[in-house]
């Protein structure tokens, strides 16, 4: 008898089941399930963040995508996860799966995009490998980063009544934003330093998938103020909830810090919109249209 | 005009060209080009090792390979690279590229093989991701490890006259060994602690490819004693040079330490053969049949 396929049970269910079976260790503070893993011994002044992220031709970019933009996106996605912990990125390794017929010029372009993005965010590219694949081109980026001990912002920790905030604008990202976004590293580090958010994550699968994940990690429900959703020009609220690939920060703030945040943010980040889009609640009050699930059946 | 493809120029040439363009950083002691990257600030008592390695269905295993063995091989290959630095592995992240039609039972089996191997070598699996791929199933493993500061064994450092040694037996690995090998972590750590080798690497592409790489990293040539090659039962010297996927250690030892090594080894590792297969020289004296180049044209 055939067992179900990953399309049939979906990514979230599959990942949750697997995570329970993985071996941990004494230095592991956060394992799978947050934006990054967090590693730190009791005596460490800094904790290490670890992240891997993969992009695949035909899924995350097309054969026509400019190679430099492929490299930029691949590293940018992992940087966005470091940002979501309030961390600073450090070293990257690149795994490039290449069909043998790939033009060398395309490989050079991908690496040029990687190297330029790495320089922009002060990341060292310290290795990786190329492997031949009979399938589509893919890049897997492994990225390290760090936070001061105890100073990373997890997905858990928010409480009922906390205000929900999101950076930037949402929706319509597939037109160009998904290849051009700036990971919110400065913003994440500033928020962590000020210790304003109780919890934080980055929006990659869309608010409709990611907000329920954040609330669930907090043991909360949520109320979304749809009229407050910051929509990209040409997008509407439905797109802001469902499109995905926003690479913005979503975080929850206690009422006691909300006024301070709303005053300090525009002074520090005048070009990055900040929107209060709802709050965490003590029970789930609505179901959102789903964001992107890689394995959802059509 | 079309530029050359990666098949046409080959993996080594492509990688070498790219490495020159990558941004580094002050903590980077060894970047791309060795078995692992090595990261360490001046004040660090331990240096961090970083490695990524990828296996792809149809290249490194077949659709019929038992899922547990796929997981075991994927992590084992990266562990072999940590061994080649004399290091101790620490945390792994797993990226799993899955066709939507993959049976869930296969994914569970792969993770069972990963988890069992991780437990065997005291590695924590701290995360990773699943991604849908329209191509073949692949796994990319990102692995961290550590050495005491200054105590890792690089590919460079060997000198003319040093004896060349290899662990285990070579050749014929595709029958079963490539799915069953034990990464030489204990052996690598013992060698590093005793500071016996001047340089070391693991044999993944075959002695015919890897020995010239080691010699080149040392600025040396080499003389291979073909009669001394340790061949797996059913293999011959040609297979030992060319087959690849041996996951044994290759290292060079100064004459002043050779007798000590040859006495101490069988007492410490009675079940692991150690063979002296030649020496580094001051000029390249022969060309070997190539080992495996993923991108070599047929």
Binary contact (A5, B103; C-beta < 8 A): yes
Contacts of A298 in chain B (CB under 8 A): none
Q: How far is CA B189 from the centre of its chain?
A: 15
Pair A109, A211: CB distance under 8 Å: no
| Cross-chain CB nearest to B124 (options A5, A24, A51) | A24
Binary contact (A4, B103; C-beta < 8 A): yes
Number of H helices, E strands in chain B: 9, 11
CB contact residues (below 8 A), chain B span 27-56, against chain A: 27-28, 30-33, 36-37, 39, 48, 50-56
Residue B17: closest CA among chain A residues belongs to which residue?
Answer: A108
Spell out the alpha helix ranges (H) of A207-271: 207-218, 237-242, 255-268
pLDDT band per the 50, 70, 90 thresholds, residue B73: very high
CB contact residues (below 8 A), chain A span 52-91, against chain B: 52-54, 56, 58-59, 90-91
- Lowest pLDDT segment from A190-204, B17-31, B202-216: B17-31
Q: Is residue B199 scored above 60 in pLDDT?
A: yes
Give B74→chain A minimum CA distance, Å: 13
Interface test with A, best of B116, B135, B297 (most A CBs within 10 A): B135
Contacts of B101 in chain A (CB under 8 A): 5-7
Contacts of B59 in chain A (CB under 8 A): 131-134
Binary contact (B5, A112; C-beta < 8 A): no
| Cross-chain CB nearest to A111 (options B21, B50, B55) | B21
Q: What are phi and psi of B75, to 5 degrees?
A: -75, -35
Residue A133: closest CA among chain B residues belongs to which residue?
Answer: B56
Binary contact (B22, A119; C-beta < 8 A): no
CB contact residues (below 8 A), chain A span 153-172, against chain B: none
Give B262→chain A minimum CA distance, Å: 34
Q: What DSSP letter does each residue of B173-222 carry, written as one string?
A: GGGTHHHH----HHHHHHHHHHT--SEEEE-SS-HHHHHHHHHHHHT-EE
**Could you report the per-residue pLDDT of A46-64, keeping only the tens digit for each?**
999 999 999 999 999 999 9
Q: Is residue B284 scored above 70 in pLDDT?
A: no
pLDDT at residue number B130: 87
- Chain B touched by A13 (CB under 8 Å): no
Binary contact (A128, B32; C-beta < 8 A): yes
Contacts of A108 in chain B (CB under 8 A): 17-18
The helix (H) or strand (E) run that includes residue B36 is: none
Cα dist from B124 to A24, A26, A207, B129, whole Å: 4, 9, 31, 15
| Cross-chain CB nearest to B52 (options A2, A4, A142) | A142
**Could you report the per-residue pLDDT of A213-264, keeping only the tens digit for each?**
999 999 999 999 999 999 999 999 999 999 999 999 999 999 999 999 999 9
pTM greater than the 0.90 cutoff: yes
**Could you report the per-residue pLDDT of A84-134, keeping only the tens digit for each?**
999 999 999 999 999 989 999 999 999 999 999 999 999 999 987 888 899
Greater confidence, A78 or B1? Answer: A78
Pair A231, A287: CB distance under 8 Å: no
Degrees (nearest 5) of the Cα angle A243, A204, A39?
A: 170
Binary contact (A28, B134; C-beta < 8 A): no
CA separation for the pair A132, B255 (Å, rounded) = 40
pLDDT band per the 50, 70, 90 thresholds, residue B285: low
**Could you report the per-residue pLDDT of B108-154, keeping only the tens digit for each?**
999 999 999 999 999 999 987 888 899 999 999 999 999 999 999 99
Binary contact (B126, A31; C-beta < 8 A): yes
Contacts of A118 in chain B (CB under 8 A): 22-23
Q: How many CB atoms are closer than 10 A to CB A234?
A: 9
Look over chain B and give the mean of its residue pLDDT values, rounded to a whole number. 92
Place of tokens 């399930």: A33
CA separation for the pair A264, A258 (Å, rounded) = 10
Give B284→chain A minimum CA distance, Å: 27
Q: Is residue B202 scored above 50 in pLDDT?
A: yes
> Taking phi first (over 0 means left), then psi (-120 to 50 degrees means alpha), and beta for anything else, what does residue B150 get?
left
Interface test with B, best of A27, A84, A85, A128 (most B CBs within 10 A): A128
Binary contact (A21, B107; C-beta < 8 A): no
CA separation for the pair A109, A129 (Å, rounded) = 16
| Cross-chain CB nearest to B95 (options A7, A54, A90) | A54
Place of tokens 């060319």: B242
**Could you report the per-residue pLDDT of A168-205, keeping only the tens digit for each?**
999 999 999 999 999 999 999 999 999 999 999 999 99
Q: What are phi and psi of A124, to 5 degrees?
A: -90, 135
């Amino acid at each position: 008898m055939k067992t179900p396929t990953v399309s049939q049970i979906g990514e979230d269910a599959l990942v949750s089941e697997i995570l329970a079976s993985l071996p941990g260790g004494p230095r592991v503070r956060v394992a799978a399930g947050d934006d990054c893993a967090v590693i730190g011994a009791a005596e460490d002044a800094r904790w290490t963040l670890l992240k891997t992220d993969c992009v695949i031709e035909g899924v995350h970019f097309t054969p026509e995508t400019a190679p430099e933009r492929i490299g930029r996106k691949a590293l940018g996605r992992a940087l966005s996860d470091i940002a979501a912990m309030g961390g600073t990125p450090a070293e990257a390794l690149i795994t490039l799966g290449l069909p043998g017929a790939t033009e060398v010029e395309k490989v050079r372009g991908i690496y040029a995009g990687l190297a330029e993005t790495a320089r922009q965010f002060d990341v060292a590219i310290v290795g990786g490998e190329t492997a031949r694949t009979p399938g589509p081109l893919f890049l897997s980026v492994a990225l390290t980063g760090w936070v001061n001990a105890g100073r990373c912002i997890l997905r858990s920790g928010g409480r009922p009544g906390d205000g929900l905030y999101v950076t930037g604008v949402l929706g319509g990202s597939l037109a160009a934003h998904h290849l051009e976004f700036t990971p919110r590293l400065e913003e994440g580090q500033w928020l962590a330093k000020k210790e304003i958010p109780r919890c934080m994550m980055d929006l990659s699968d869309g608010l409709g998938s990611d907000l329920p994940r954040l609330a669930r990690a907090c043991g909360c429900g949520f109320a979304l103020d749809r009229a407050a959703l910051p929509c990209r020009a040409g997008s509407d609220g439905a797109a802001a909830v469902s499109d995905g690939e926003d690479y913005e920060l979503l975080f929850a703030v206690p009422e006691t810090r909300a006024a301070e945040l709303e005053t300090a943010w525009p002074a520090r980040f005048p070009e990055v919109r900040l929107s209060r889009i709802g709050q965490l609640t003590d029970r789930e009050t609505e179901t959102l249209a789903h964001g992107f699930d890689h394995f959802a059946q059509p």
